[in-house]
C-alpha cells in the first residue's frame, strides 16, 4: 500500500508550540511512530507545508501514487473550501487527524470543512491518532478486515454514517 501523510500550517512547531494543547511530541517523532507501526505494510510519504496551495498541489501531484491519505490540515480545516474540494476531487480515502479534541475547543475550531470530504476524523488522541488513522487506511484499502467485522456488515468502504 502507498500511504501519504500531509501536515498543514504550524505543525512543524509541534513539541514547542502550545505544549499544553498539542503536547511535547515533535512532528518528526510522530512520523517515526507512524513508520514503526506501518512500515511492513505500507510505503509512506510524509509532508508538511505552511500554505494552502502547497497542500493542494501535493494532493494533486501524488493522486495516482497513493492509496490513502492521513491529513492534519491544522487551522485550514476550519477555513479551506479549496482544500475540501481537492480532497474530494481525487476520490481516494482520507482520514483527518487532530491532536487535540477540536470539539472541546473554541467555537471556531469545532467545525471542519475538510472533514466533510474525508472518510473519517480522529481527534483528541494526541500523536497516536496518526497511527490509528494509518492503520485504518491500511484496513480500508486492503482485503484485510478488522477482527470480527465481515464485509457487508456495516464496514463497506465509502459508506457514510450520519447517525454516529
**CA geometry: angle 2, 5, 10, nearest 5 deg:** 165
DSSP string, 120-133: EEEESSTTHHHHHH
- The length of the chain is 164
φ/ψ of residue 123, rounded to 5: -140, 150
CA distance 72 to 27: 11
User: Which residues have a catalytic role annotated?
Assistant: 22, 98
Query: Among the residues of 39-160, which ranges form H helices?
Result: 52-61, 81-90, 128-140
Amino acid at each position: 500500500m502507498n500511504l501519504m501523510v500531509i501536515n498543514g500550517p504550524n505543525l512543524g512547531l509541534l513539541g514547542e508550540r502550545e505544549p499544553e494543547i498539542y503536547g511535547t511530541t515533535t512532528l518528526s517523532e510522530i512520523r517515526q511512530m507512524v513508520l514503526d507501526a506501518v512500515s511492513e505494510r505500507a510505503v509512506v510519504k510524509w509532508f508538511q507545508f505552511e500554505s494552502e496551495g502547497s497542500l493542494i498541489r501535493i494532493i494533486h501531484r501524488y493522486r495516482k501514487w497513493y492509496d490513502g491519505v492521513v491529513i492534519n490540515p491544522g487551522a485550514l480545516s476550519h477555513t479551506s473550501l479549496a482544500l475540501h474540494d481537492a480532497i474530494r476531487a481525487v476520490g481516494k480515502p482520507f482520514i483527518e487527524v487532530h491532536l487535540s479534541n477540536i470539539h472541546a475547543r473554541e467555537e471556531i475550531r469545532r467545525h471542519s470543512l475538510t472533514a466533510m470530504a474525508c472518510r473519517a476524523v480522529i481527534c483528541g488522541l494526541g500523536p497516536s491518532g496518526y497511527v490509528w488513522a494509518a492503520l485504518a487506511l491500511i484496513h480500508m484499502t486492503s482485503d484485510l478486515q478488522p477482527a470480527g467485522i465481515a464485509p457487508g456488515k456495516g464496514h463497506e468502504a465509502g459508506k457514510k454514517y450520519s447517525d454516529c
